[in-house]
Structure formats: C-alpha cells, structure tokens
Amino acid sequence: MLAYLLAEKNFAALKQYVTFLNDLRPALQEISEFTAIFERQKHLILPPPNVQSLKEAAQTSAACWRAIAMATPLLGSNCTLVLRDVFGFIEEFQSVVSNVDNRRKAIVTIDPQHFSLVRSPAWGNAPAENIIDVLREMHRRLGHYRSAVLDFNVQVTRLAESMHSIFVRFIECLTTPICTCDKPIPKIEAYYSLGKIGLPGTTYEPGRLYSQEERIAQSKEHVEFLFNLRRRAASAANNLSDFCYRMTCMLDEARQVLQCHYPAMTMARAKAVLPMFKGPLSDVQSMSDQLVKMRRL
C-alpha cells in the first residue's frame, strides 16, 4: 500500500541531508574568516550565511535522524505485536458472534475468558469483567501505537523545518553578492576564489587552482546540487509525514469501530460491524510490513 511513501530512497535523501549539514562545519568556519577579512577591509558586506543557525540545524537534524533510525524498526515490530493480539481477538470474537444460536444475545453475555489474550500473561493483572473491557483494551493498545507513530512524525517534522527555513536561506544566500562595493558575483564563486572553501559532497577541491571559468561553472553546478538535495530531502520528509498521517487515520478508523460496541449490542449486529474493523487494520498491517523492511536503515 503506497510503498513510495516509505521507499528507501526517502531515508537515503534524509540521511544525505543530515550528513551534508554535519560535514559543512569546516566550510562554515572558512566562510566566517573570509567574511571577517572583507569587513576589516571596509567592504559593505551583505548578510553572510547564518553560521550559528546552520550549526544548530546540524545538531538538531542529527538528533532527529538518530531518533528516526531507532524508531523505524521499533514501530514495525511493535505494530506486528499489537496487531497479532488484535487480529487473534477478532478471529475468536467472530467465531462467537457467528454462532446462529447466539444471534439475538447481547455481546455482554460473552465470557471474556473465552479469549486467548485475556488468559495470556500479556493481559496484565486487571481482570476483564466483560467483553467491553476486552474491547477497551484493544482500543487502548491501538491508541498507544498511534501515539508512537505521532512521536515518530514529530522527528520527521523537526527535520523538515530546517530544510524549509534555515537550509533554503543558506542556498539562496550563496547566490547573492558578498558585498555592495565590488563586482556583483555570487558568494559561492567568491568563496571558491579563496581556494579554501569546499562544500561537502561536491567536486570542488580546496587548495587546487581553478580558472575563473571553472569556478563559475562549478558554483552554478553546486548551487543546483544544493537545491536538488533540498528538494529530495523535503519530498522524503513529506512522504514520511504522509505515511504517518495515513497510518493514524487507519488506526482512528479502527478505534472508532471499537467504540461502536456497547453492552446491549446483539451478536448479529456485532458480526455486521466486524468487517469495518478489519479493513483499516489490514491497511495498518501492510504499512507495518513496510516499516519492518526498513531495518536495513
């Protein structure tokens, strides 16, 4: 189901973005020193890249990436455990309410001890007084998993925020002049003329002598590289957020069906409601299977 939302290329793009920010520190140091030299020479400096915000973004993105990398396989395996119990309950519940002799009986008459989960150590210490208690436990477990999905999405959102604000301004800043008093050439070209500043992941080699034509060509190529990096990383973050949103919607739909069960509901009515419960959870299972595949992250 919608495998592109959790494609490995999404994780690869985010990892490349995080790596780039963290590898940018030496270049930022050179940029700061270069700017200071120009200021001492009384140039009318245009705002340089915000070094401090980029360093903070690097720290934040690295922390978010670690959280995402740790949470991805856990979300998959935890969902598998939750849905195993829920689907097991549904199968046993379906068997009871499908009994022709039970059609007119209220579901509250079902003995909760009939269900494997209630008899298992995973149930806990609080005894189930009736079937409604079992349904509430299913609702609680799905809600707990929903919270974990939302926590995962928080990390993705925090990572995306730096792309849409700090990183895009950094790229745009590199295309503006370094000062107002000299020939208006892009900052990145001026930085390259120093011979010390090279952006991570590009072909520029600090210390090597390049002609003006080469610097111009490389600066344009590398700005496009940065915009492409930002586009791919932002698309990846959007896809992961969409994945989380769709998963929470499926969980909400299943939990809503659980809430529709009340003590006086007949078993015949419960049997009719069950298919509405299994549909969204089957989608959640499919999405969980995709998460488990991300263990290679």
pLDDT in tens, 113-169: 989 999 988 887 678 899 999 999 999 999 999 999 999 999 999 999 989 989 999
Question: CB count, 10 Å around CB of 126?
Answer: 8
* This prediction's pTM: 0.87
Closest Cα partner for 112 from 88, 89, 124, 129? 129
Question: CB count, 10 Å around CB of 31?
Answer: 24
Q: Which two tokens stand for residue 254?
A: 């299943």
What pLDDT score was predicted for residue 135? 92
Cα–Cα dist 193/177, whole Å: 13
Cα–Cα dist 49/176, whole Å: 10
**In the 8-state DSSP scheme, what is residue 76?**
H
Q: Is the pLDDT of residue 286 over 80?
A: yes
pLDDT in tens, 224-274: 999 999 999 999 999 999 999 999 999 999 999 888 888 999 999 998 888
pLDDT in tens, 2-59: 666 778 888 999 999 999 999 999 999 989 988 888 888 878 888 999 999 999 999 9
Closest Cα partner for 127 from 138, 141, 137? 137
The distance of Cα 201 from the centroid of its chain, to the nearest Å, equals 24
